[in-house]
Amino acid sequence: MLDVRRDLTAITDEEVVALDAWWRASLYLTVGQIYLRDNVLLREPLRPEHIKPRLLGHWGTSPGLAFVYAHASRLIRETGDRAIYLAGPGHGGPALVAASWLEGSYTETYPRVTQDAEGLRRLCRQFSSPGGIPSHVSVTTPGSIHEGGELGYVLVHAFGAVMDNPDLLALAVVGDGEAETGPLEGSWKGISFLNPERDGAVLPVLHLNDAKISGPTVLGRKDRAEVRSLFEGHGYEVIEVEGSDLPGMHHRFAAALGGAWQRIREIQDDARSGAWTGARPRWPMIVLRTPKGWTGPDVVDGVQVGGTFRSHQVPLSGVRENPEHLARLESWLRSYRPDELFDDLGRPTTTAFGPHGAQRMSASPHANGGVLTRDLVLRDFRDYAVDVASPGVERAESTRRLGHLLRDVYSDNPDTFRLFCPDETNSNRLGDVFSVSDRAFMERVEPVDDHLSRHGRVMEVLSEHNCHGWLEGYTLTGRHGLFATYEAFAMVSASQTVQHSKWLEEARSLPWRAPVPSLNILLTSTAWRNDHNGFSHQGPGLIQVMLTHRGDVTRAYFPPDANCLLSVADHCLRSRSYVNLIVIDKQPQLQYLSMDEAIAHCAAGAGVWDWAGNDDGTAQPDIVLACAGDTPTLETVAAAQILRERVPQLRTRVVNVVDLMGLVRPRSHPHGMSDLFFSELFTDTADVVFAFHGFPGAIHQLVHGRPDADRFHVRGFIEEGTTTTPFDMTVLNKISRYHLVMDALNNARTTPRGAQELLGWCQDQLDLHHAYVREHLEDMPEISDWRVGSR
Amino acid sequence: MLDVRRDLTAITDEEVVALDAWWRASLYLTVGQIYLRDNVLLREPLRPEHIKPRLLGHWGTSPGLAFVYAHASRLIRETGDRAIYLAGPGHGGPALVAASWLEGSYTETYPRVTQDAEGLRRLCRQFSSPGGIPSHVSVTTPGSIHEGGELGYVLVHAFGAVMDNPDLLALAVVGDGEAETGPLEGSWKGISFLNPERDGAVLPVLHLNDAKISGPTVLGRKDRAEVRSLFEGHGYEVIEVEGSDLPGMHHRFAAALGGAWQRIREIQDDARSGAWTGARPRWPMIVLRTPKGWTGPDVVDGVQVGGTFRSHQVPLSGVRENPEHLARLESWLRSYRPDELFDDLGRPTTTAFGPHGAQRMSASPHANGGVLTRDLVLRDFRDYAVDVASPGVERAESTRRLGHLLRDVYSDNPDTFRLFCPDETNSNRLGDVFSVSDRAFMERVEPVDDHLSRHGRVMEVLSEHNCHGWLEGYTLTGRHGLFATYEAFAMVSASQTVQHSKWLEEARSLPWRAPVPSLNILLTSTAWRNDHNGFSHQGPGLIQVMLTHRGDVTRAYFPPDANCLLSVADHCLRSRSYVNLIVIDKQPQLQYLSMDEAIAHCAAGAGVWDWAGNDDGTAQPDIVLACAGDTPTLETVAAAQILRERVPQLRTRVVNVVDLMGLVRPRSHPHGMSDLFFSELFTDTADVVFAFHGFPGAIHQLVHGRPDADRFHVRGFIEEGTTTTPFDMTVLNKISRYHLVMDALNNARTTPRGAQELLGWCQDQLDLHHAYVREHLEDMPEISDWRVGSR
């Protein structure tokens, strides 16, 4: 790609003139978006009625964002390379919107925002206005795979985007505010997992303008030698550019960016030439220091605004009321010489600048990854089935079967699928993938290491933020993957799950955004089987978070066994634009359904398990025992067996739910069961004892509005846990088979003969259990006694 | 404190002998806890029945943890200084438990775990066994304020602990696995906010043993010069120690730790001498490289185990079945020469080593902060009241009143209260605190800065993880604080909220843990008023997360106005061991209650607002309009007014809920309203239209089990949002006054005259609104049309 005939670090004076004009145009449009509702070309003197009633937006970071964009555009045109642009300081949205408009992609995407005076007016009016677009880079921004709201994820998105995309360069601008967040600081290490032979490159531009909304930033005020040392420590070659002088800054930044660009291509050429030693390259990064609000007002009302936090948002705030501010705004706008930048019809005069077509960063297909998405090659998932001759007899590690499937997904999709996991692939029984791919690692590998190499494509890093964020970047650019994690610690990245759900929700209302592969999250090592790890490891919180999102995006599956897991996984891997949550533990567990039964069961989302109950198909069972999740299913099946054997007159129905969202009314979720099916499963009147994997409140809210929802008696995780046995976990949380039997008897339509005896027997069993625990604890320290006492 | 007569970097051979014995004792006990259930002193040959049935625990990190502990203990004894120990690699729990037992504090805390053979047996048996203690450092561990489950928070806890604790040293061991997490990487910058004059010191020991559970770590395998550069970049003076040779390592580490200790005291002496320039010191940190599983088995079954990830957990796994493994275990245990370490009765022979009393790190009162907690000095919150002559007439910024109160809390509690906020103190209208304290900042301060200095004690950093974690450390050591944050981005630190809730839940079952100040979280800039920022900023998710925790810890308040906010805040600031969530927006909002009314209302938790409804105290209103949260209250009051005016025959009752947990049944939450009070508010049969600030599912689950809960029709945030107006947000989410009126009419017990007309009028109002929006959008781009179309 690289035109080796030319030194990329050089820029001619003519190029500077063209580049500067484009930059000024984008600055003009940025100020215009923040302030103007009319007279956007300043064809007449600025008057208060031309100003928006409410001034919103972030000026401070925008000049730097546009500056980097302009220089990158020039290089793309020069080299023919492919790049995408990620704006970490995403509040500088107007700069990116302006860039897209100047490149023509905005008009292609939104035809009414024409590239003329009227389109300009629309462009300005829509910005941060009701019914318009947000003030930050968002789903609506062409060329973006990165929302600029919640800060911290620009580098993880960039690294995810370039994995298995050898020819893609992701230019990632990191703001010094964002650089203070934990997730961002933890993401510089992406280069320790990036293979220059197979992956593309991330070029971080740390844009230090010293301030955030009301004060300075740590990196902005740190000793410069420390900043350099920090990033050299992360493994980067640090290129520094600083200043505000023009055109000097254009020359210096062109040299910096061109140098970095050349260095990246050298690294890649070297890695791809066959001569590479395998050592992790020192990838370049740029530290760009420009004043906050560069080119904007300097001193306002006697207060220093330029170069300070006071430029962060709207530097001139009194424009409608204060004639002096209005005049300052007009002269500020005119300082960009709009008459040179737009012709009589308001068309930009800068169209000759920069790349064309799909090379424009605002029109990159990688930033609309759905258009590049290919279906995964998936073998028939039935090939991985567990033989189940009879339900509830044999045990298997269900996730190990999933591991077999994932192994072949890796084999058959050598550059479009990755597994992301915080260090627990083996622990989660998915280790079969290592028979076809190693763990990715670009730091020193030693002989004692296990399936670890630079060629590896299994992503293990002890950071849920990196795993989640890489997968987001990977899927948003059109590839497929799975994030497998400890259930409790999925909360670490819960805000990413939330924000990605919001992204997908928004994207659905934008027809030009093609559907992307779903974000698949496997929650394993669940609360019920973290008995040995104790209370901090016991928490099904992410389920609760997922339920709050829109039905068109949220999916939550609770396969009870291996065959259901395989069916669900196959479905999720084929799906688009969902967040799929799959919850199942990794420990050996009873298997219930043959593959054919599992397929039918998962397709329906829920079903009556005739073999487990004894209502013989009556429409009026005395009690319904429902369950969702592997451990609750085990306890429910056991409870039903006790009831069958001890009070056979009681007509007990067992319902297993795989697709949790089926419980919701159809108007609230597309998977919501029809009223008819819901009634077929749960009747309209029988009491339902529902054993749920997560918090009981989840079921309470899901069935609200269903016929007589008060009849649902839910058992689930009630935040009781400690270091104990798996069965004791069910007792502590009152979801054990004995609790379920007692619930059934206490709520059944009729009181069968023997009910009192059975209630007594259940209590005896629990007492025996408690006694056993107490005996076992007899020589335990007093802390244990306190716990027993609190039961 | 420092004994300046002695060079702390030197250690005599006699001291090494004593220290090594203590270390060996702790190693012996660590191995014993992982493996042994009997014969724990090896008084007879080891047999399979002495081995636990299930082997759990993390050996790999433990030797290093104990090594650091031993050396620190020696220095504490030497210097008389006060220190606490935070174990980031908290899975090395047995090492810390062993230390506490050797120091005697374990027996003081748990008298049955005596310092003799029988106590030793209990100590070993309880570890990671049902009914015992978790395998990691936990709430049960004396001397710990840090749970070793979810990784990433050791430094934030350490920094929080030493703020305003000038004489405290927090020794924070950071594991190289944990060092990969985002929150941890983001927390090194704590020194940019630490004032050596007023705060204590954190001494980080980065313990690189190269591996996590199944592979190497980035820092473990990085080039050493890069590691040094990284931490020098963060601002530390890096002291490196490496090896496994003994006693050489004792001498080298003593020199390193003693040197760091001396350096810290020099920094502090300098800062407190009055001669300090104010420049941020280069605080020392130690990089300690020891083999994973140091002193443990080297090669097992022909595979290299020592020094690799295979030592992470249980290095000899087949001990009960494999005689060779059993023999290896016995010789491993005997390698520590237990006969020297324990006398005939099993009492440790090392009691002369280390400090005594409260100077033992395992007995530090700072690690049981409740014992040091003093009540905040709080002025009468009524002094900050808004005058409310008549409900719903005047507007005020409620959080600004809270700012007044917090200003005085700062003044009156100069070393026991801090506000933590990601850069938004002013934006959240709490800026009055700056009249008495600056923002804390230890990097370069410039004249343009606003209320920023090293003397500042208002903590602003653009990192929810740091804010939340610092506050945790601050409160767990007995001081008070508030974390104020954007509602949507509270999800960033949601997992910290979860884990801290779990800590407090566990602590309640341990009588020796004195109650600590509550963790107070103010959610402001809420979904309803983030109209201009758009969808990514709209999310009341943390409320949903909080609801899953135990009633003895979780509190959630929705003050509708300033006076209620003041009353609630006063209550929260006085409380202990809760997580208090307070939700209120920062924008100007209607005020309803006089201070006296507010106090009564908040004390009851909820109440009928007679002035808003027209049921005239009847026990049988036709409809109940309930609300919780400021915007829902506004819409509800407006809806009630419409109903009063247009269908006066309809007996409408208005109920406002401040204390959300009051809705829960009393058996599930101590704030749960009695059945009687619940019926007084909501009746047992009238339909309730409930307008809620958060997701509707929250109310659905809270009222489940209340009489005829199906009659609750909940409106709330249904994940609909965009860049729009505040009122349009309520329309989009179907919680507007018009929706509430229609809900009321559609669900009322009787159909009043004029109901049809009013329904039509409401629909007209909504149509007018939509038309207005459409008209306003007439010249907006098509993206807006799509959105309108989707309404």
Separation between Cα atoms, residue B779 and residue B758, nearest integer Å: 33
Task: Provide the number of structural domains found in chain B.
Answer: 3
Pick A777's closest partner by Cβ from B131, B464, B708.
B131
Tell me the two tokens of residue A36.
Answer: 């103007």
> Does the residue B596 lie in any domain?
no
Pick B783's closest partner by Cβ from A140, A439, A697.
A140
Check: CB of residue A598 under 8 Å from CB of residue A682. no
Q: Residues A469, A526: one domain?
A: yes
Separation between Cα atoms, residue B787 and residue B774, nearest integer Å: 10
- Asked if the Cβ–Cβ distance from A122 to B780 is below 8 Å, we say yes
Q: Is B320 on the interface with A (CB under 8 A)?
A: no
Separation between Cα atoms, residue B529 and residue A124, nearest integer Å: 22
Q: Residues B339, B391: one domain?
A: no
DSSP conformation class of B660: G
Q: Residues A514, A570: one domain?
A: yes
Question: Is the pLDDT confidence value at B166 over 70?
Answer: yes
Question: Is the pLDDT confidence value at B393 over 60?
Answer: yes
Q: Give the mutation candidate from B219, B429, B722 for the A interface (greatest A CB count, under 10 A).
A: B722
pLDDT in tens, B527-563: 999 877 889 999 999 999 999 999 999 999 999 999 9
Give the domain CATH number at A688. Answer: 3.40.50.920
Q: Residues A349, A231: one domain?
A: yes
What per-residue confidence (pLDDT) applies to A786?
A: 37
Cα of B157 to nearest chain A Cα, Å: 14
pLDDT in tens, B14-46: 999 999 999 999 999 999 999 999 999 999 999
What per-residue confidence (pLDDT) applies to B99?
A: 98
Surface of A (525-554) touching B: CB under 8 A: 531-537, 539, 541, 544-545, 547-550
What per-residue confidence (pLDDT) applies to A619?
A: 85
Separation between Cα atoms, residue A567 and residue A658, nearest integer Å: 11
> Does the residue A526 lie in any domain?
yes
- Which residues of chain A lie closer than 8 angstroms to B787, CB-CB? 131, 509
What per-residue confidence (pLDDT) applies to B2?
A: 45
Q: Give the mutation candidate from A228, A452, A536 for the B interface (greatest B CB count, under 10 A).
A: A536
Separation between Cα atoms, residue B256 and residue B519, nearest integer Å: 36
Pick A229's closest partner by Cβ from B125, B229, B723.
B229
Separation between Cα atoms, residue A335 and residue A690, nearest integer Å: 69
Cα of B444 to nearest chain A Cα, Å: 5
b/e code B446-485 from CB counts within 10 Å (16+ = b): eebbebbbbebbbbbbbbbbbbbbbbbbbbbbbbbbbbbb
Among B335, B365, B395, give the residue marking a domain's end: B365
Of B674, B582, B579, nearest to B628 by C-alpha is B582
Give the domain CATH number at B284. Answer: 3.40.50.970
> Does the residue A211 lie in any domain?
yes
Question: Is the pLDDT confidence value at B674 over 70?
Answer: yes
Cβ-based neighbour number of residue B258 at 10 Å: 21
Q: Residues A386, A480: one domain?
A: yes
- Which residues of chain B lie closer than 8 angstroms to A719, CB-CB? 502, 505, 548-550
Check: CB of residue A779 under 8 Å from CB of residue A721. no
Burial group, residue B560, by CB count within 10 angstroms (0-12, 13-18, 19+):
buried
The ipTM (two decimal places) reads 0.96
Q: How far apart are the first and last CA of chain B?
A: 69
pLDDT in tens, A102-124: 999 999 999 999 999 999 999 99
Q: Residues A629, A692: one domain?
A: yes
Report residue B675 CA to chain centroid gap.
33
Separation between Cα atoms, residue A521 and residue A749, nearest integer Å: 40
Among B526, B557, B589, give the residue marking a domain's end: B589
Question: Is the pLDDT confidence value at B407 over 60?
Answer: yes
Instruction: Categorize the per-residue pLDDT at B725 as very low, low, confident or very high, splitting at 50, 70 and 90.
Output: confident
Give residue for tokens 């590691």: B227
Structural domain for A427, as ranges: 382-590
Check: CB of residue B133 under 8 Å from CB of residue B126. yes
What per-residue confidence (pLDDT) applies to B781?
A: 46
Cα of B645 to nearest chain A Cα, Å: 31
Q: Residues A618, A731: one domain?
A: yes
Q: Residues B235, B326: one domain?
A: yes
Instruction: Categorize the per-residue pLDDT at B619 as very low, low, confident or very high, splitting at 50, 70 and 90.
Output: confident
Pick A548's closest partner by Cβ from B130, B719, B780.
B719
Instruction: Categorize the per-residue pLDDT at A5 as very low, low, confident or very high, splitting at 50, 70 and 90.
Output: low
What per-residue confidence (pLDDT) applies to A618?
A: 86
Cβ-based neighbour number of residue B343 at 10 Å: 13
Evaluate the CA torsion angle B364, B370, B374, B376 in order and state its sign: positive
What per-residue confidence (pLDDT) applies to B5?
A: 54
Cα of A598 to nearest chain B Cα, Å: 30
Separation between Cα atoms, residue B305 and residue A562, nearest integer Å: 33
Mean pLDDT for A36-42 is 96
Separation between Cα atoms, residue B784 and residue B786, nearest integer Å: 5
> Does the residue B201 lie in any domain?
yes
Surface of B (102-131) touching A: CB under 8 A: 110-113, 121-123, 125-126, 128-131
pLDDT in tens, A123-134: 999 998 887 899
Residue type, A194: L
What per-residue confidence (pLDDT) applies to B772?
A: 82
Half-sphere exposure in the Cβ direction for B147 (13 Å, CA): 25
Please tell me whether residue A66 adopts helix, strand or coil conformation: helix
Q: Residues B327, B403: one domain?
A: no
Phi and psi torsions of B590, nearest 5°: -65, 145
- Asked if the Cβ–Cβ distance from A214 to B427 is below 8 Å, we say yes
Q: Extract long-range pairs of B264-273: CB within 8 Å, 24+ residues apart.
A: B264/B169, B264/B201, B264/B203, B265/B1, B265/B2, B267/B196, B267/B201, B268/B166, B268/B196, B268/B197, B268/B201, B270/B196, B271/B195, B271/B196, B271/B197, B272/B166, B272/B196, B272/B197
> Does the residue A362 lie in any domain?
yes
- Asked if the Cβ–Cβ distance from A131 to B539 is below 8 Å, we say no
Mean pLDDT for B572-598 is 97
Q: Whole-model pTM? A: 0.97
- Asked if the Cβ–Cβ distance from B131 to A549 is below 8 Å, we say no
What chain A residue is nearest to B447 in terms of C-alpha separation? A304
What chain B residue is nearest to A543 in terms of C-alpha separation? B545
> Does the residue A356 lie in any domain?
yes
Separation between Cα atoms, residue B584 and residue B563, nearest integer Å: 12
- Asked if the Cβ–Cβ distance from A548 to B544 is below 8 Å, we say yes
Surface of A (684-743) touching B: CB under 8 A: 695-698, 700-702, 704-705, 708-710, 712, 714, 719, 722-725, 728
Surface of A (421-460) touching B: CB under 8 A: 423-427, 439, 441, 443-446, 448-450, 452, 460
pLDDT in tens, B288-307: 999 999 999 999 999 999 99
Question: Is the pLDDT confidence value at A536 over 80?
Answer: yes
Q: Give the mutation candidate from B228, B313, B443, B690 for the A interface (greatest A CB count, under 10 A).
A: B443
Q: Is A511 on the interface with B (CB under 8 A)?
A: yes
Surface of B (51-80) touching A: CB under 8 A: 54, 56
- Which residues of chain A lie closer than 8 angstroms to B702, CB-CB? 697
Surface of B (624-663) touching A: CB under 8 A: none
pLDDT in tens, B414-462: 999 999 999 889 989 999 999 999 999 999 999 999 999 999 999 999 9
- Which residues of chain A lie closer than 8 angstroms to B56, CB-CB? 532
Q: Is B224 on the interface with A (CB under 8 A)?
A: no
Burial group, residue B508, by CB count within 10 angstroms (0-12, 13-18, 19+):
middle
Q: Residues A392, A260: one domain?
A: no
Cα of B14 to nearest chain A Cα, Å: 36
pLDDT in tens, B488-534: 999 999 999 999 999 999 999 999 999 999 999 999 999 999 877 88
What per-residue confidence (pLDDT) applies to B777?
A: 63
Q: Residues A277, A388: one domain?
A: no
- Which residues of chain B lie closer than 8 angstroms to A537, CB-CB? 149
**Mean pLDDT computed over every residue of chain A:** 94
Q: Residues A386, A532: one domain?
A: yes
Give percent above pLDDT 90 in chain B: 90
- Asked if the Cβ–Cβ distance from A532 to B133 is below 8 Å, we say no
Q: Is A358 on the interface with B (CB under 8 A)?
A: no
What chain A residue is nearest to B122 in terms of C-alpha separation? A780
In order, the DSSP letters of A374-428 are -------GGGGPPP-SSTTS-EEEHHHHHHHHHHHHHHH-TTTEEEEESS-TTTT
What per-residue confidence (pLDDT) applies to A778?
A: 55
Question: Is the pLDDT confidence value at A4 over 70?
Answer: no
> Does the residue B728 lie in any domain?
yes
> Does the residue A6 lie in any domain?
no
- The H or E element that residue B166 is part of is none
- Asked if the Cβ–Cβ distance from B110 to A783 is below 8 Å, we say yes
**Mean pLDDT computed over every residue of chain B:** 94
Question: Is the pLDDT confidence value at A502 over 90?
Answer: yes
